[in-house]
């Protein structure tokens, strides 16, 4: 990991045992991660998320993975859907939302 600051290198070597806060706090953060990536959150919440990410290598890794997934998806063409396929997907989404 040449070229990275020592603090950042150390953060990547933390283990699960060093996870010093509750997993509920991580779940709270993960619920807002898409909004965070899209810059759709108030500054105070973004600051809270950045602080959490600095202390939680698991969430930091998840954010990195999410950003990579977004980059990859942006380069894949959107497939054309037939009207019957579109209707089926809509039914499935509505069914899943009703069961949530």
SS3 letters across 10-58: HHHCCCHHHCCCCHHHHHHHHHCHHHHHCCCCCHHHHHHHHHHHHHCHH
What is the pTM for the complete model shown? 0.56
Predicted pLDDT at 25: 86
> In angstroms, rounded to a whole number, what is the distance separating the alpha carbons of residues 55 and 48?
11
Q: How many CB atoms lie within 10 A of CB 59?
A: 21
Instruction: Compute the half-sphere exposure of residue 16: CA atoms within 13 Å on the CB side of its CA.
Output: 1
> In angstroms, rounded to a whole number, what is the distance separating the alpha carbons of residues 19 and 62?
15
pLDDT in tens, 18-70: 566 788 889 888 889 989 999 999 999 999 999 999 999 999 999 999 999 99
């Amino acid at each position: 990991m040449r070229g990275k600051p020592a603090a950042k290198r150390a953060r990547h070597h933390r283990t699960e045992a060093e996870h010093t806060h509750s997993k509920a706090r991580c779940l709270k953060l993960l619920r807002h991660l898409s909004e965070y990536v899209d810059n759709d959150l108030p500054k105070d919440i973004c600051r809270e998320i950045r602080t959490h990410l600095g202390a939680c290598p698991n969430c930091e890794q998840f954010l990195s993975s999410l950003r990579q997934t977004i980059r990859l998806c942006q380069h894949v063409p959107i497939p054309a859907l037939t009207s019957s396929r579109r209707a089926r997907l809509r039914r499935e989404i509505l069914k899943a939302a009703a069961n949530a």
